[in-house]
Structures are given as C-alpha cells and as structure tokens.
Amino acid sequence: MKKKTTTKTLEKNALRFEVKRGLNGLGLYSKVPLKRGARVIEYTGDHLTEEEANERGGQYLFDVSKKLTIDGSGRENLARYINHSCKPNCRAEINESETRVFIFARRKIEPGEELTYNYGKEFWTEFIKPKGCRCGACKSTA
Ligand SMILES: [Zn+2]
C-alpha cells in the first residue's frame, strides 16, 4: 500500500526544515522555533507487511506494529534525515490506531538546531553499535 504525502505538506515542511551536512553526515535542521511537545513532522513512506519489509530490507524501516512497517526511504520523507541521538531533542511516537508515526519535540528547539531522536535499542545494537555511536551525547563522553 502506497501512502502519498500531499504537496501542501511537502511545501510546508520545506519551509520549516532543511537537510544539511553536520558533524554526523546529513541531518535535518529546524528553521523555526519549536515548542516542547510540538508535533514536528510525520515519518512517511510505503506501508509494508512484516513479510514485505523483510524482503525489502534497508535502514529506513520503521516497525509500527506487528502488522505494519513503514519504509521511509523515499526522498519526500524528510524525517528520514533525522539522526539518532542517545540524548535527543525529539521522540518518535506511534498514533493510537498504529498507522502513522510522528516526531514530537521533547523540549524547546531553537532555529538552526539539528533534530534527533532515539532510534531504539534494536536499531542501535544492529546498525550503530558496530561502528560506534557518533551522536553528540556519546562523543562528549568518549
Ligand atoms: Zn550515542
């Protein structure tokens, strides 16, 4: 099942966020101030079953429920540029009907700040641990 992001949302997101190269490769930066608890952006992409997701693979698969995985590898999904942090300023949250994923601000965010959320233990162990975590929080204690 394909899920299309509306042009309006894409235009709005383009005004509010920008993809930039940071210390940790490409990241997503806010161009606007965000309040604590604000809904920042939706993590969008093709809706896959577990079977389809396993077949497709990739680093942008977001497990929403036992029945649904979102493949966020599409370029229109700006949320895919949000890097992992062990001490993030955002969090990912699944809606009640387990069909959509939204990124919320965990604290007040200033314009120009990079957005981050914690990818979770499973992803961290599989993809981040082998090369060493390069998030701001880990770097400062290394
Ligand atoms: Zn880290």
pLDDT digits (tens, 9 = 90+) for 111-126: 999 999 999 998 899 8
Distance 60 CA to ligand 1 centre (A): 18
Q: Which residues 6+ apart lie within 8 Å of 23 measured at CB?
A: 134, 136, 139
Distance 61 CA to ligand 1 centre (A): 20
Q: 40-79 pLDDT, tens per residue?
A: 999 999 999 999 999 999 889 999 999 999 999 998 999 9
Q: Which residue has the tokens 């101030």?
A: 33
Distance, in Å, from the CA atom of 92 to the CA atom of 21, rounded to the nearest integer, reads 22
Say whether pLDDT at 6 is over 90: no
Distance 137 CA to ligand 1 centre (A): 5
Distance, in Å, from the CA atom of 115 to the CA atom of 90, rounded to the nearest integer, reads 7
Alpha helices in the chain (DSSP H): 7-16, 50-56, 121-123, 136-141
Distance 140 CA to ligand 1 centre (A): 9
Domain boundary assignment for the chain: 7-120
Distance, in Å, from the CA atom of 120 to the CA atom of 118, rounded to the nearest integer, reads 5
Annotation: CATH topology of 7-120: Beta-clip-like (2.170.270)
Q: Evaluate whether 81 touches 19 at the Cβ level (below 8 Å).
A: yes
- 131: its two tokens: 């090369």
Percent of the chain with pLDDT over 90: 74
Distance 83 CA to ligand 1 centre (A): 10
Q: Evaluate whether 66 touches 27 at the Cβ level (below 8 Å).
A: no
Distance 12 CA to ligand 1 centre (A): 30
Distance 122 CA to ligand 1 centre (A): 14
Distance 81 CA to ligand 1 centre (A): 16
